Structure 1
Amino acid sequence: MVKLIKNATVYTPKYIGKKDILILNGKIAIIEEGINIDNFPLDIQMYDFSGKIVVPGFIDGHVHITGGGGEGDFSTRTPEINLRQLIKGGITTVVGCLGTDGITRSLENLYAKAKALNKEGVNAFIYTGSYAVPPVTFTGSIAKDIVLIDRVIGVGEIAISDHRSTQPTLEEIKKIVSNARLGGLISGKAGIVNFHVGSGKFGIDYLFDIVKDTEIPIINLYPTHMNRNKKLLEQGIEFAKMGGFFDLTTSFSTNEDKIRTVNYLMECYKSKVIDRVTLTSDGQGSLPKFDKDGNFIGLQIGEVTSLYEIVKTSVKKGYLPLEEALKTITVNPSRVLKLKFKGRLEKGYDADLVVLNENLEIDSVVSRGDFLMYKEKIVKKGTFED
C-alpha cells in the first residue's frame, strides 16, 4: 500500500520546512511540497499531519532486549523487552546486547529475540560478546560472527574501568578490536567494539592507547556510559575531536543523573562535537547500586522511553535546537553502526519515522512504511501482547 503524509513540518533531521512524504514499498519515494497524486496509478492512503512534526525513526544502539542484570542474585534478573515499549519510545531500530551476564543468558537467545522483533515490526541487530574477555561468541571467532551471522554488527559491550569487568589487558583489547575490524571489512558491517565504561580511574585510557600506538582506526572504538562523571565526559569530547564517536546513557537511577546528562549534552553541543555523540537507553538493563565497599544495595531498570525524553528535555530547555538534538538518536548512530538507509528522511531511505505533536510528544510511529502507533494509539502489538 502506498502512503502519503501531507502538510507535515519535516526534519531530516535537518529542518526542511513543510513537505509531503510519499511512501512506497516501505521506502521514502518522494519528499516535496504539495505532492500531486491526481494521476497516480495506485491506491493511496493519505494522512494529514498539519501542525505536526515528522522526524526520522529513533535508533537505540544499546538495549538488553533479552533482559539484563542479575547482579543482586537470580531474583534481580530484568525481563526482556516487548514491542510496545519500543513503540512508545519512538524506537524503530534497536541493537541488543548481553551485558554483565554472558553465563545464564546466551547469544542464541539474543539472536532469536532480535529475529522476533524484526518480524513484529522494528529493525533489530545485536552485538556478539558480553562484559567478559575473552568474549562469548557463536562460532568461536568475533570476525566469523560478524561476517557469517546476519544480525551481528559488532562486539560488546566489553567492560573496562569497572569492578564487574574481567580486568582485561590492553593487548587483549587490541585483539578484540582488530578482529572486529576484520569482520567489519569483510562483511561491510560496522565491526565496532562497544565498550561499557565504568567509573574506574582509567576511563578510556586503553582506547587512547590503541589510537596512538596501533593502525586501528578510531571509528572501530565506541565507548558508552560516558556521562557517569565529568572526567569521562571530558575524555569523550577529546575522543570526538580526534574523530571518534562516544555515547551517553539515558537511563538513570536518580533525577540528578538525568539533569547531569542533559547538561552534558549541552556541553557536547557547545564543544562542537554533537555530530560525534549518540544517546542510547541501556533499556531493560539493570541499574545496580553498590556501596563504597562494592556491596550490592539496590537495583532499578533501564527504560527505552528515556532515549527520546533526554532529547525532548534538552530542546524544551533551550539547550539544543531540535535538529541538533535529533542527530544523537538518528543520523549519528546510523553512521557509527553503518546502518544503511536508516537515520534520515531522504528519498530511497527506509520509511522509519516518528510524528511529534506541537508539544514534542510522540503522536505516531512508522517502521518500514507501516504504522506501529497512530494518533497516540498503538496499532501493532507483539505476538503475546494484549
Structure 2
Amino acid sequence: MLTLLTNARLYAPAPRGLCQLLIADRRLAAIAAADAPALASGPTVTVLDLEGRRVIPGLVDPLVHVTGGGGEGGFGSRTAELGLEEALASGVTTLVGALGTDAVTRTPAGLLGKVRELAAGGLSAYCYTGSYQLPPVTLTGSVREDILFVPEVIGVGEVAISDHRGSQPTTAELTRLAAEARTAGMLAGKGGIVFIHTGDAPTHLEPLREVARTSAIPLAQFLPTHINRTRELFEDGVRFAREGGRIDFTTSTTPALIADGEVPAAEAVARALHARVAPSRITLSSDANASLPRFDAEGRFAGLEPGRLGSLFEVLGECVEAHGLPLERALGMASTHAADALGLARKGRLAEGFDADLLVLADGAWTIDEVWALGRRVHRRG
C-alpha cells in the first residue's frame, strides 16, 4: 500500500517547504522536495495533491481520561468516556489513557480495553498503570510487570502529589515507585515515565525534588502536569524545569478556573519561554474527559466541567496567533517534546522511518482539513 502526498507545505516540525511524502503502509518511507522526481509511480500508488496546504505532525497527548473521570461530587458528577469520532477529529493521533481520582469504579482492565478500542479505530493509544493513589492499582499485581508485559502500558500515573485527593505519598514511596517504573522501562524498551498530577497545595513540586535529592532518580523521570493550575505553581514549575525537570501545561480550562487564578496554557507557554525555559522541557496535554472541578476554601466540591481533547489543537493555534510563536516552535510542545518525554521513538516528527501520523491544515486558517493516523486517512472535514 503506497500513498504519495504531493505539494505538502511541510512542518516536520521544522519547516521544509513544499514536499512530497511517500507513505508505505503505516510509515513515512521517503520525503523529497516537491520539484524532485516523483518518489513513486504506477498503478499501485495512490497520489493525492495537497495543493500547498500545511502538513504538521499528528499531536501527541500525554493525558486523556479515555474511560471518563470525575466523581468528586458523587456519581452524578462522573464524566463520559472518550468517543472515537471525537478523537479522530481532534488532531490527536497518539494518546495516553489514565485513571484519576476514581480507581474503584473505573479500573485498569476497563482502561486497557478502551485503549484497545481506540487503537482498533486507527489511533496509537497507550496507557499508564496506577492512578492518583498509592499503592497503585495494576493489571498484573505490580507496576514492574504491567510495564514489562502489557504492550500498551508505558509508565505509571496519574499519581497525585500536593493534592487533598491523593494518598499523600511519602518520599520513600515516590522513590520506590519511580525506581520500579524506571527499571521496568529500561527492560521493556519503554519510557517508564512517572506521570504526576500536581495539586494546588503549597508543597507544589517539592516532593519530586526530594526524591531527586535523596536518591539516584533524575527529575526527568517524572512528568508533572497541571503546572498552570495556579500562578504560584507555574512559578515553581519554571524553577523545576530550569533544574532539569519537565513540565506539562493543561490545555482544557474554563472561565471560572481562569478567574480563580489558572494561567491559560498558551500564556503559560509564552511566559515559560520568556523565562528561558528550554522548549524541550515543555509539553501540553488536554486532560480530556477528566473533570475540571472547583473546590471552595475548605476543599468542598463546588462544580465541574469536562476536559476536551480538541483543546490541544486550539491552544497550539493560540500560541501562534495570539502570542506570536513560530509554528515550528509551538508544534514541539504537542508533538516532538511529548513523544520524547514518553519514550515513543517513532512519534512526534515527520521523518523517514517514523509513523505516518499527520494533519493537513486548511489554507489560511487554523483548522484541520484531514487527519492521517498510521498511514491512513481517518478524518476529513465535512
TM-score with structure 1 setting the length: 0.94
Describe the SS at the equivalent of 2:334: coil
After the TM superposition, which of the residue ranges 237-246 and 185-194 deviates more from structure 2? 237-246
Q: Sequence identity, in percent? A: 39
Q: Deviations over 1:250-275 (max 9, x none)?
A: 11122773863221110122224222
Q: Is the 8 A contact 1:68 1:286 kept in 2?
A: yes
Q: Is the 8 A contact 1:262 1:313 kept in 2?
A: yes
Describe the SS at the equivalent of 1:328: helix
Q: Which residue of 1 aligns with 2:336?
A: 331
Q: Which residue of 1 aligns with 2:371?
A: 365
2: CA distance, partners of 1:116 / 1:247? 26
1:202–1:21 CA distance, 2 compared to 1 (3 A): same
1: CA distance, partners of 2:228 / 2:323? 20
Describe the SS at the equivalent of 1:314: helix
- Specify every segment of 5 or more residues in structure 2 that has no aligned partner in the other structure, as ranges: none
1:263–1:38 CA distance, 2 compared to 1 (3 A): closer
1: CA distance, partners of 2:57 / 2:207? 34
RMSD across aligned positions (CA): 1.5
Q: Which residue of 2 aligns with 1:59?
A: 60
After the TM superposition, which of the residue ranges 293-302 and 60-69 deviates more from structure 2? 293-302
Whichever residue aligns with residue 268 of structure 2, its letter is Y
Give the alignment of 1:196-235 within 5 angstroms: 196-235=197-236
Residue 50 of structure 1, CA deviation: 1.7
Q: Is the 8 A contact 2:8 2:50 kept in 1?
A: yes
Whichever residue aligns with residue 367 of structure 1, its letter is A
Q: Is the 8 A contact 2:231 2:263 kept in 1?
A: no
User: Is residue 131 from structure 1 mapped to residue 132 from structure 2 by the alignment?
Assistant: yes
1: CA distance, partners of 2:83 / 2:13? 27
Q: Deviations over 1:270-316 (max 9, x none)?
A: 22422211000000001111111221121100000001111101101
Q: Which residue of 1 aligns with 2:293?
A: 288
Give the alignment of 1:1-386 within 5 angstroms: 1-34=1-34, 35-37=36-38, 40-41=41-42, 43-254=44-255, 257=258, 260-270=264-274, 271-357=276-362, 358-374=364-380, 376-377=381-382
Describe the SS at the equivalent of 1:215: coil
1:8–1:68 CA distance, 2 compared to 1 (3 A): same
TM-score with structure 2 setting the length: 0.95
Residue 76 of structure 1, CA deviation: 1.2
2: CA distance, partners of 1:151 / 1:26? 18
Residue 40 of structure 1, CA deviation: 3.2
Describe the SS at the equivalent of 1:131: coil
1: CA distance, partners of 2:40 / 2:303? 63
Residue 217 of structure 1, CA deviation: 2.0
Q: Is the 8 A contact 2:5 2:47 kept in 1?
A: yes
1:209–1:39 CA distance, 2 compared to 1 (3 A): closer
Whichever residue aligns with residue 373 of structure 2, its letter is S
Whichever residue aligns with residue 331 of structure 2, its letter is L
2: CA distance, partners of 1:322 / 1:249? 19
